[in-house]
Amino acid sequence: MQKTINIKNKKARFQYEILDKYTAGIVLTGTEIKSIRSSKASIAESFCEFNEQGELFVVNMTIQEYAFGNYYNHKPKAVRKLLLNKRELKKLNKEVQNSGLTIIPLRLFINDKGYAKLDIALAKGKKLFDKRETIKDRDNKRDLDRIKKAYK
């Protein structure tokens, strides 16, 4: 039985306000899927951008070289194409160009059929005071949970 692969971008929700989510396929070559299945990937510093033809690519996604790969091993920081419907691509492209929003990957996983998928989000960057407010809310919730637990 195959173990589940769930690689997350933990800083994404702290640094960005998530507006809309999509699930996209990834075009992988050769040994990349083997490295992903062994959880040797990172999407921490990655982002998505469009090229001149309107295709969406993920940049700065790190997939480590496959340990048993030989001459045909892949490059760890290659730019990889994302697969979405034409309607979704047009909508995302319009939002990015007009509103100045960004597209960030949230989660890399393997679905039931064995394909690597990437959850991406249309996001707006948070300001410093928004980040401070997020930290304050998290601390208040933690303290409230401790108080509730003490009275049970």
> What is the model's pLDDT at position 75?
86
pLDDT at residue 144 above 60? yes
> What is the model's pLDDT at position 29?
86
Model pLDDT for residues 31-90, shown as the tens digit of each residue: 898 889 989 999 999 999 999 999 999 999 999 988 888 777 888 899 999 999 999 999
> What is the model's pLDDT at position 1?
41
Model pLDDT for residues 12-36, shown as the tens digit of each residue: 988 999 999 999 999 998 889 888 9
pLDDT at residue 140 above 70? yes
- pLDDT band of residue 2 (cuts 50, 70, 90) is low
- SS3 per residue for 38-89: CCCEECCCCEEEECCCCCEEEECCEECCCCCCCCCCCCCCCCEEEECCHHHH
How far apart are the C-alpha atoms of 124 and 79, rounded to whole Å? 23
Q: Are 9 and 105 contacting, i.e. CB atoms less than 8 angstroms apart?
A: yes
